[in-house]
Amino acid sequence: MTVYIVKRMLLMIPTLLGVAVLIFLLLRVVPGDVVEARYLGQGSQFTSQDLMDIERKKLGLDQPLWKQFTTWMWGIMRLDFGLSMWTGSPITEEIKLRFELSLQLAIMATVVATLLAIPLGILAAIKQDTWIDYAVRVFSIAGLAMPSFWLGILMILVMLIVFKWLPPMVFTSFWVNPWDNLAQLIWPALAVGYRYSAVATRMMRSAMLEVLREDYIRTARAKGLWLKLILSRHAMKNAMLPVITVVGLEFAFLLGGLVVTEQVFNLNGLGLLFVEAISRRDYTLTQALVLIVAAVFIFVNFATDIAYAWLDPRIRYR
């Protein structure tokens, strides 16, 4: 087990390095750079080539690619992401502000999703092939079908037209004013959480169906155990495993992938920061964001694998 953990941890390094190389090269293939985006983007034709070259030199863009890459990597190893090419302020600062919002939204959406998925999945599995099962499945497939940004627009519409009320549009930290904070974030969390619950519900249902056919469940029923007890003590625990994986991986994506929902709800999260960074050709900021999101994803992947082995003694890793 220890050997397996160490091996998996070591394997994370080349994957992350691959992500770093890929995003580094991708960005430099994109036409235009931050200097052009800043000076030519606003339609001023008076910028001279010399001025732009000076700017580039200041940002280190005149260096050969391998040198830019090693400088960046050297910084990462000291946990220093460098300065944003657009604003000039430290990237850690830029990200810290947005990270709080994105993290909170991801957690809230996960809570919404889990609260929906576990009971619905279990219900559908116990009542397999009845109208309840069909209703749950249609509800969850509908959740996958509706774009969460559209669900967000609808929510805002209903609140506006029916209740003549709009959630606060400026972010307040949970620690400053929890009420305002929740009043703003609960809506995107519901919109995203519903969609995300769909995946988890389906997983819960099929895992539960599989577990319910196991011998130990039959044994438990044969000895006359109460159904509720069988479900909560024996079945649910084992059916939770694949659900944990799904929830974990989705969580990692929620951190950086809510680009569109953030736009609808006017939230300044990591997703919107990413779109801004890439359209401004802010190489350093984009690189840092991608690397962070990928690192979270890879780590969650790793953690769920370990949790699997931990929770299910039948699984043994080499």
Partner 1 sequence: MAVTKEALDTLARPERARWLQAIVDFTWQRPLGAIGAAIIIVMSVVALSAHLLAPFDALVTDYDAMLAAPNAKHWLGTDAYGRDVFSRVIFGSQTALIVGLGASFIGATIGALIGVASAYFGGRVDMIVQRIMDVLISFPLIILALAVVAILGTGVFNVVLAIAIPMIPRCARVVRSSALSVREMPYVDAARAAGFTDARIVLRHMLPNVMAPYLIMLTAFLGQAILLEASLSFLGLGVQEPVAAWGLMLRGAAVEFAETAPWMAIFPGVAISLAVFGFNLFGDSLRDALDPKLRTQ
CB of 186 to partner 1, least distance (A): 20
- Contact flag: residue 14 with partner 1 (CB under 8 A): yes
- Contact flag: residue 263 with partner 1 (CB under 8 A): yes
Judged by CB, which is closer to partner 1: 133, or 180?
Answer: 133
Alpha carbons 179 and 212: distance in angstroms, whole number: 42
- Contact flag: residue 29 with partner 1 (CB under 8 A): yes
Burial of 110 (0-12, 13-18, 19+ CB in 10 A): buried
- Contact flag: residue 290 with partner 1 (CB under 8 A): yes
Instruction: Tell me the site size for partner 1, rule CB under 8 A.
Output: 48
CB of 48 to partner 1, least distance (A): 27
x-or-dash string of contact with partner 1, 189-218, rule CB under 8 A: -----------------x--x---------
Q: In this chain, which stretch among 54-62, 184-192, 226-234, 291-299 interacts with partner 1, using CB under 8 A?
A: 291-299
Q: For 83, phi and psi rounded to 5 degrees?
A: -105, 150
- Of 34, 17, 158, 174, nearest to 103 by C-alpha is 174
- Contact flag: residue 229 with partner 1 (CB under 8 A): no
- Of 264, 256, 242, 265, nearest to 311 by C-alpha is 242
Alpha carbons 284 and 58: distance in angstroms, whole number: 14
* 279-291 burial: b if 16+ Cβ within 10 Å, else e: ebbbbbbbbbbbb
Judged by CB, which is closer to partner 1: 102, or 181?
Answer: 102
Q: In this chain, which stretch among 17-25, 55-63, 167-175, 227-235 interacts with partner 1, using CB under 8 A?
A: 17-25
Judged by CB, which is closer to partner 1: 208, or 220?
Answer: 208
Calculate the CA 6 to chain-centre distance: 25
- Contact flag: residue 51 with partner 1 (CB under 8 A): no
Residues forming a β-bridge with 90:
83
